[in-house]
Amino acid sequence: MEPLKSSVMDNRDEAAARQTAHQIMSLLDDFIPRHCHREAFYWIMEASFKEGFELTSKLMRKEYEAWKSLQLNALNLK
């Protein structure tokens, strides 16, 4: 499988997809035969990139929720 073809704007998305694939592969390491790791990694990375999903930490989620709460509170003041 070849690397994803992306524009300059998609480089961050591709990096996030690569990070997501690494995280998922580390969780599934014992369940995927060693000779399938490379292919599984690229399938996960491609799916992450195309579908736009990412794994985030609990801290990142809480920061987003706090930011969103501030935005919603600002809208209610108007």
With respect to residue 2, please indicate whether it lies within any of the assigned structural domains. no
Question: Could you tell me the pTM of the whole model?
Answer: 0.67
With respect to residue 1, please indicate whether it lies within any of the assigned structural domains. no
Separation between Cα atoms, residue 78 and residue 76, nearest integer Å: 6
Cβ-count burial of 46 within 10 angstroms (0-12 exposed, 13-18 middle, 19+ buried)?
Answer: middle
Q: How many CB atoms lie within 10 A of CB 23?
A: 15
State the virtual CA torsion across 25, 7, 11, 31 in degrees, nearest 10: 0
Domain region containing 23: 8-77
Q: How many CB atoms lie within 10 A of CB 32?
A: 14
Q: Each residue of 61-72: pLDDT tens digit?
A: 999 999 999 988
How many domains would you assign to the chain?
A: 1
Q: Each residue of 14-41: pLDDT tens digit?
A: 999 999 999 999 999 999 999 999 999 9
With respect to residue 14, please indicate whether it lies within any of the assigned structural domains. yes
